[in-house]
């Protein structure tokens, strides 16, 4: 399983050969099974193959002793890679939009609550932006839903290029997106981001079936400190987006 031929392991300290951990050897829970005389069980250990590739394992480590005292440890283990990959995928799906790869609503809720708390402590502004694509239904009707998905992925990529790494772009579902700008100087800063988004979204999208154009209506809500709850701020941004729609679409509107 670890790629070592028997002759290369004989007379070597197996622990130093294959066990990967950050603590020094004296604190290794596997080796401590000797001194504690207790069985150690874990599903979070990592072994190292001969070629250096790490292998997550589940294991039992039991002390081995005779009349003279502790001699060593017997370790039984199995490759945990497939199960761990499955667990990681479940975790990823819980926090990520499967189509665009963007964070999902769960991530937004956590980051928005944290951003409002930071805003309150440090007296800083933040902005929440609701985006709804204009004329997206026409793309689906003309080219089909696969083309619509292709367009959404490209729009998600373009929107992401307009914000900082510290900001959060979320797909809410359908053709709706939300952006959390965690720190802005004021409404003008958010408006500059909105103007940039309007520009990049307006560029034609090359699809397998042909070219398509969409616009975007953007609602902006500004908060400073915890003067509003996350729910209230989202309602304000949502209402502002509908004001942008009513005003003719493909533009932004700042709440209040």
Q: Catalytic site residues?
A: 175
Contact, 133 vs 155, CB < 8 A?
yes
Q: Is 60 exposed, middle or buried (0-12, 13-18, 19+ CB in 10 A)?
A: middle
DSSP labels for the chain?
-----HHHHTTS-HHHHHEE-SS-GGG-HHHHHHHH---EEEEEEEEE-TTS-EEEEEEEEEEEEETTEEEEEEEEEEE-HHHHHHHHHHHHHHHB-TTT--B-HHHHHHHHHHHHHHHHHHT-EEEEEEEEEESHHHHHHHH-HHHHHHHHHHHHHHHHTTS-TTSEEEEEETTEEEEEEEEESSHHHHHHHHHHHHHHHHS-EEETTEEE--EEEEEEEEEESSSS-HHHHHHHHHHHHHHHHHTTSSSEEE--
Map residue 134 onto helix, strand or coil. strand
C-alpha–C-alpha distance, residues 21 and 32, integer Å: 14
């Amino acid at each position: 399983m670890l790629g070592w031929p028997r002759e290369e392991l004989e007379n070597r300290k197996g622990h130093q050969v294959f066990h990967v951990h950050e603590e020094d050897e004296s604190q290794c829970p596997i080796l401590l099974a000797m001194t504690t005389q207790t069985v150690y069980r874990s599903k979070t250990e990592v072994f190292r193959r001969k070629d250096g590739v790490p292998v997550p394992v589940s294991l039992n480590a039991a002390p081995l002793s005779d009349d003279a005292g502790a001699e060593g440890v017997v370790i039984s283990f199995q490759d945990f890679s497939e199960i761990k990959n499955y667990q990681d995928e479940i975790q990823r799906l819980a926090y990520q939009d499967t189509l665009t790869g963007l964070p999902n609503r769960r991530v937004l809720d956590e980051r928005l609550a944290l951003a409002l708390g930071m805003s309150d402590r440090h007296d800083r502004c933040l902005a929440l932006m609701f985006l709804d694509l204009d004329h997206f239904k026409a793309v689906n009707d003309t080219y089909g839903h696969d083309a619509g998905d292709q367009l959404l992925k490209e729009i998600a990529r373009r929107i992401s290029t307009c914000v900082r790494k510290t900001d959060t772009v979320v797909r809410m579902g359908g053709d709706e997106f939300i952006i959390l700008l965690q720190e802005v100087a004021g409404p003008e800063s958010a408006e500059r981001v909105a103007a940039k988004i309007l520009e990049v979204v307006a560029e034609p999208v090359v699809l397998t079936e042909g070219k398509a154009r969409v616009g975007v209506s953007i609602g902006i809500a500004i908060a400073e400190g915890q003067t509003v709850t996350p729910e209230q701020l989202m309602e304000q941004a949502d209402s502002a987006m509908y004001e942008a729609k009513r005003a003719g679409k493909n533009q932004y509107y700042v709440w209040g």
